[in-house]
Amino acid sequence: MISRLLNRINTLTLVPRQCVAVLRLKTFDTSTPEGRSKERYRRAALTALAQAFAKGVGILTMLISVPLTLHYLGAERYGMWMTISSVILMIGFADLGMGLGLLNVVSEAHGREDRQAAAGYVSSGFFMLSGMAALILIFFALAYPLVPWPRLFNVKNILASQEAGPVMAAFMVCFALNLPLGVVQRVQLAYQEGFLNSLWESAGKVLGLLGLFLVIYLKAGLVWLVLAVAGGPVLAWLLNSLVVFNYQLPRLRPRLKSCNIAFARKIFKIGLSFFVLNMLVKLTYSSDNLIIAQLLGAEAVSQYAVPAQMFGACLITMNMVLAPLWPAYGEAMARGEMAWAEKTLKRTLGLLLVVVGIPSGLLVILGPWLLKLWVGGRITPSLPLLLGFGIWTLILSIGSSMSIFLNAANIFQFQIICNVLTFVTSLLAKVLLARSFGLPGVVWGTIIAFFFCFLLPYSIYLARLFANRAAESSKKIA
């Protein structure tokens, strides 16, 4: 019994131990399958560490900037800034998923060692996103004089009313510039250099913070503050692009002559699939607060949303584990090394049971005490609600791992069908169970729908995919 338990623990901790074992700056010899395997784990480990660093920098800059900005702007102007920031986040999918499509095709070309195709994809993606950015700015410029910006953001202060339109314009310019500049992020991720990506992201946040200090020192207006804070990341991506496309990977520098209609069509097709998937995910998992507000009242939203945010912290670790594996899966499968991808997925599922399952379980037990410490006695979640959040966090991480594998394999039709079924079923289940059981019914409705319409079909699909691969391998050997 003890021996079996030790073997199980050894299996679950294999991936992190492999990552630690290969953690070094020097690359491995990628001329052999074993060397490529070690190099993928090395890059995944470096990316995870860099993401943790970037997350820490983000939290630190937020802790410093929020009180400074709130004091400098006042409640109404700060509220307008936050509202406009939310609007920009809502249109974050305006690239129609083409950024993710570019990530997939470049990692595939990298796996095939097809440099010409990689250069064609990067150039096609860059000019497609540049065209989209131009269209967004043209549309915004035409709409700008027609929109009553102060009334839209419901500001009464004279200064805030004067700044509402220009502030929105400043945000839109930064947003549009980020579309083509974001190509460098996708290239670095595709080449499994997400650690460099995270370091530049951190630099952008620091530049934004320095810009904030400068604006406050000069006593400049909100428009300049937006350009400083939102422009910091834009400047970082611009510098990153100059370094990557002029020194590190000059062969991938976007050139109009390298554009290819077939490449552009493929990026758009894959990107559109990602766009549909992302929209379905947002509709499914962003409707909870709206349902609660309609059925149980606005006060109940707080009782649900605050514990949900607490459990959401567990997903930070999940993202650190899964994000670096997406391009690694794509590159491995493009080389025909499906066995590595399959083995890594299975090990990752086991790893998530530990790094997400254990913290989620602790939050179920310690949740009431932690919430009291965090927000006082205003939030009093029931055990069924906390247990539901704990189970939901774990199965979401498992489902996300499977989804990332299928994303890297360009398998979309099956995913879209499952996500449509999950959306419809979860909506009905949330409403019915919320009426019968209150707040816990919402999260348990999500769990039921996700398990039967997402997790179970994905598990069966992957089992068949791996079985077919094993059969094909046996035939080749025979």
- pLDDT (tens digit per residue) in 110-147: 888 888 998 999 999 999 999 989 998 999 899 988 88
The per-residue b/e assignment along 286-300, b for 16 or more CB within 10 angstroms, e otherwise, is ebbbebbeebbeeeb
pLDDT in tens, 290-329: 788 788 876 777 788 778 878 887 888 788 888 888 888 8
pLDDT at 31 over 80: no
Confidence of residue 399 (pLDDT cuts 50, 70, 90): very high
Give the chain's end-to-end CA distance (angstroms, integer): 39
Check residue 280 and give its pLDDT: 85
Pick the range with the lowest mean pLDDT from 51-65, 215-229, 315-329, 337-351. Answer: 51-65
Q: Which residue has the tokens 């064609």?
A: 120
Q: Are 44 and 19 in contact (CB under 8 A)?
A: yes
Check residue 475 and give its pLDDT: 63
The C-alpha atoms of residue 266 and residue 427 are separated, in whole angstroms, by: 33
Amino acid identity for residue 132 in this structure: M
If you average pLDDT over every residue of the chain, what do you get? 83
Candidates 238, 230, 236; CA nearest to 180 is: 238
Q: How far is CA 150 from CA 77, 168, 174, 194, 437, in A?
A: 11, 11, 21, 40, 42
Check residue 93 and give its pLDDT: 63
pLDDT: is 194 or 18 the higher one? 194
Confidence of residue 73 (pLDDT cuts 50, 70, 90): confident
Structure tokens at 160: 């805030």
Check residue 138 and give its pLDDT: 94
The per-residue b/e assignment along 421-453, b for 16 or more CB within 10 angstroms, e otherwise, is bbbebbbebbbebbeebbbbbbbbbbbebbeeb
Check residue 469 and give its pLDDT: 79
Phi, psi of 113 (to 5 degrees): 60, 35
Over pLDDT 90: what percentage of the chain? 23
Candidates 362, 367, 359, 358; CA nearest to 386 is: 367
pTM as predicted: 0.79
Q: 10 Å Cβ neighbour count for 345? A: 19
The per-residue b/e assignment along 120-138, b for 16 or more CB within 10 angstroms, e otherwise, is bbbbbbbbbbbebbeebbe
pLDDT at 477 over 60: no
The residue-averaged pLDDT of 418-442 equals: 91
Candidates 85, 329, 356, 43; CA nearest to 198 is: 43
Tell me how many degrees the CA angle 51-352-465 measures, rounded to the nearest 5.
105
Check residue 242 and give its pLDDT: 93
Check residue 1 and give its pLDDT: 55
How buried is 25 (Cβ within 10 angstroms: 0-12 exposed, 13-18 middle, 19+ buried)? exposed
Check residue 457 and give its pLDDT: 95
